[in-house]
Amino acid sequence: MNEGHIKTVLICGDEARVRQALKALLFTREISWEDDLSPIIKVIGEARHCSEAVRLVESLQPEVVIMGDSIPGSDGLEAARTIKRKWPHVKIVTLTMFPDIRQAALEAGVDTFLLKGCLAETLFEAILS
């Protein structure tokens, strides 16, 4: 598989077990899709909090950032704004259990807003689209 078929992802979330679960889910997708027409998803980094995510976006240059439950506070929304201002090509996918922040997240530059518990395929589509 050539490098053009890899979608690089940074995971940002304050809970280690949530980051690990997301990483495992994305790895499952990476090893189970063997055809050359479908890009693979590769996790290239993890951030514990939003300021670390901004630093890692700068150094790792991922194509997609998945922001977990750390986004509800102003720190998460500010990180989304900063990432979109500095790197407008980076896609931000929010995965949260807080449906009431949807509008604020979208206004901050989040590209896709998903609720925890969504189908894995929905997350894969958000990353790959």
pLDDT, one tens digit per residue, over 91-106 is: 999 988 889 989 999 9
- The share of the chain scoring above pLDDT 70, in percent, equals 84
Nearest to 120 by CA among 10, 1, 24, 6: 24
The CATH architecture that domain 3-128 belongs to is: 3-Layer(aba) Sandwich (3.40)
Scan for tokens 């890009």, then name that residue. Answer: 39
**Residue 41 forms beta bridges with which residues?**
7
Q: What are phi and psi of 117, to 5 degrees?
A: 100, -5
pLDDT reported for residue 3: 47
Cα distances (Å, whole numbers) of residue 15 to 8, 29, 61, 70, 109: 21, 22, 23, 9, 23
Nearest to 19 by CA among 43, 42, 41, 40: 43
User: Is pLDDT above 60 for 26?
Assistant: yes
pLDDT reported for residue 1: 41
**pLDDT tens-digit series, residues 65-120:** 998 765 545 578 888 999 999 999 999 999 888 899 899 999 999 999 999 889 99
